[in-house]
Amino acid sequence: MNGLTPQELAIFHRDGYLVRRGLTDAATCDAIVEMAQTHLEVNLAPIEYEADLQYPGAPKSKEAPGGDTCRRLLHAYSRGDVVRDWAVSEGIKQTLQALLDSPDNVLSQCHHNCIMTKQPGYSSATLWHQDNRYWAFDERNLISVWLAVGDETTENGCLRVIPGTHTLDFEPGRFDAALFLRPDLGDNKALIARAKPVPLEKGDVLFFHSKLFHAAGRNRSPETKFSLVFTYHAASNHPIEGTRSAQFPGIPL
């Protein structure tokens, strides 16, 4: 039940992502939401604020209206047993063994490792990017794992992906200074026209390749959208010493 079919494996290699529907039970999702809400209420650090990043739609500063809106609760792995148990659970472990074609895999505490808290009102949009644009490993072959602890729709800002882009390499001129795809270029417009939303239901888990281009809109619903996100890599794919990717030890699965 935790393993993958050959068809699912082929879809991941073709598209760069795979959704496993209902991989996580509702009680676990509810417990993660409850924990995240408590941590939000008491501003339990470390937190990344919308105003820190200045993505489109973010408050102009910490002092502006909505300036204290949390974008992500960081260091999710350290926030509670329910999160830790999920991150190393059999369903995650076995799926990654198949997708990475590796028996031994590791959770990176340095990247993602967060609970996204996309809030109504002051949440921002995330432009088109690859997750590994600032990461430093022997190989650009990592997988981000995104648990929908509630339903994710285009209205509340679910992820959008451009299928198959994990296999492409682009010249630096396609990107802006922050390594987002420049939306003004014709070639980028054609690529972005192929994008698909990835709506998720509570308990669904999205696995996506670190080179897959993805983006997301703002939350236009009245409720906060919480998502738990971790990044994993094969034990044989090492972070480069001295970089942010090697700042904290990996957690073996």
Ligand X SMILES: O=C(O)CCC(=O)C(=O)O
Which residues form the interface with ligand X (CB under 6 A)? Answer: 116, 118, 126, 131, 157, 214, 216
User: Min. distance of Cβ 165 from ligand X in angstroms?
Assistant: 14
Rounded CA-CA distance 228/145 in Å is 8
User: Min. distance of Cβ 6 from ligand X in angstroms?
Assistant: 29
Nearer to ligand X, 16 or 157 (CB): 157
* Sign, Cα dihedral of 132, 138, 141, 145: negative
Q: Which of 34, 129, 76, 43 is nearest to 248 (CA)?
A: 76
Nearer to ligand X, 39 or 214 (CB): 214
- 94 class by beta-carbon count within 10 Å (0-12 exposed, 13-18 middle, 19+ buried): middle
Coil, helix or strand at residue 55: coil
User: Min. distance of Cβ 47 from ligand X in angstroms?
Assistant: 14
**227, 148 contact by CB (below 8 A):** yes
User: Min. distance of Cβ 28 from ligand X in angstroms?
Assistant: 21
* Cα–Cα distance list, 61 to 44, 49, 55, 127, 216 (Å): 20, 10, 12, 20, 21
Nearer to ligand X, 143 or 216 (CB): 216
Q: Which two tokens stand for residue 241?
A: 């010493």
User: Min. distance of Cβ 164 from ligand X in angstroms?
Assistant: 18
Nearer to ligand X, 158 or 253 (CB): 158
Nearer to ligand X, 157 or 239 (CB): 157
